[in-house]
Structure 1
């Protein structure tokens, strides 16, 4: 059975800080990076909290509520039109520059490529198509089907069922340490995409099997998946 590569989407393939230039126009250039960081941190925190509380809403709702929190924290007053524009643009965030080429090379390696995301299937399909990378994947697997979020063990079991894959032949590729740890707990192989050299992996006593600085590094690892 060829190896299965499950790619996280937000923060791994797609740049979640891709709206900083637009945020700069609305909130000021100095505020924009801080606003983007708080927005992303709260988006993930809300998904964790809702999964634990079994109070599921879609990832888009977490995103909207996190934006409202970030703006309130920094005293940024968006008009309704600006808020709507940001949320609409979030549906078409850009891919990181090396992603299209790296995915094309990985397709040639014989591995089975899937997108695996907290976003709904519809949202992820739109995001990948807008970035021009949807055709790289056999399918999109969303946590929405089990009404929870990563790193709930149920979502990793759901992926295996949907992809017809075995844990010991599946690699998670993610830029998010919590996702890597969740997949490791589920018995998967793991690759951490450490795009920021200053980012620290959580010291939980479980390290990713491989660390790469971007997706180009994956093509150099393809022989280890055999």
Structure 2
């Protein structure tokens, strides 16, 4: 694939957002999956609404607030797990294929980067924990511009830093809304549809749909 840069969303694409709850599933209780889904959904909702309001807050703060909401919604979950769950989220596992795929792309001479809503501290921790620091060239966090995806200024961080036209960038995300935003911006987009979800944005189609990252290498 003749692209100058391969840019990846972090959460849900490289790092498993449900790994934190799964790590403590025996203590979370029978509603663990529901609990984890609420945590993730509210985390994203908070990012969208705060961008629309112009009321930015650090993504880690939103992650904490979303976890508190999940505890309120799922009374069977033990609140004493709060610190353990946050620690696990700070050190999320990556998906099994991620290291080999990123190494293979880097060996082609393309830049390999992350573009994420995550705070710089969150991303640094996840990258280090997954031992990806030797294969990722750059980590772009939205924190300096205080806007979350899908604001066009977020995607422009990459093209400005690399002095590239959008079509020279291959952008991979498991989040369909993120792919829609990146497509609208002009990136070549690959939807990593890990959960086999139906399409939501037929007017903003990705260039490719893959079940995981393996076919990129």
TM band (smaller chain): over 0.9
Q: CA deviation at 1:77?
A: 5.2
Structure 1 length as normaliser, TM-score?
Answer: 0.90
Q: Which moved more, 1:67-76 or 1:19-28?
A: 19-28
**Pairs aligned (count):** 216
Equivalent residue for 1:205?
Answer: 203
- Cross-structure match for 1:152: 151
8 Å CA contact 1:120, 1:142 repeated in 2:
yes
- Contact 2:71 2:79 survives alignment (8 Å): no
Describe the SS at the equivalent of 2:113: strand
More helix by percentage: 1
**Who is 1:129 aligned against?**
128
CA contact (8 A) 2:102 2:135 kept: yes
Q: How much has 1:159 moved relative to structure 2?
A: 2.3
Runs of 4+ that moved beyond 4 A: none
Aligned residues of 2:3 and 2:170 also touching (Cα < 8 A): no
Q: CA deviation at 1:166?
A: 1.9
| Structure 1 residue aligned with 2:39 | 39
Matched, 1:56 2:56: yes
Checking the alignment, whether the CA contact within 8 Å between 1:13 and 1:95 is kept in structure 2 is yes
Q: How far apart in 1 are the matches of 2:174 and 2:77? A: 31
Q: Deviations over 1:78-116 (max 9, x none)?
A: 345x21111111110000011111111111122211111
2:51·2:148 contact (CA, 8 Å) conserved in 1?
yes
Q: In the alignment, which residue of structure 2 is the partner of 1:224? A: none
Of 184-193 and 161-170, more deviation after overlay is shown by 161-170
The answer (yes or no) to whether the contact 2:32–2:77 under 8 Å persists in 1 is: no
Separation (CA, whole Å) in 2 of partners of 1:163 and 1:150: 19
Question: Which residue of 2 is the match for residue 222 of structure 1?
Answer: none
Cα distance between partner residues in 1 of 2:84 and 2:162: 35
Structure 2: segments with no counterpart, 5+ residues: none
- TM-score calculated relative to the size of structure 2: 0.94
Which digits, 9 at most, give the CA deviation of each residue in 1:104-152, with x for residues without a partner? 1111122211111101122201111101112111111111110010001
Q: 34-43 or 152-161, which moves further after superposition?
A: 152-161
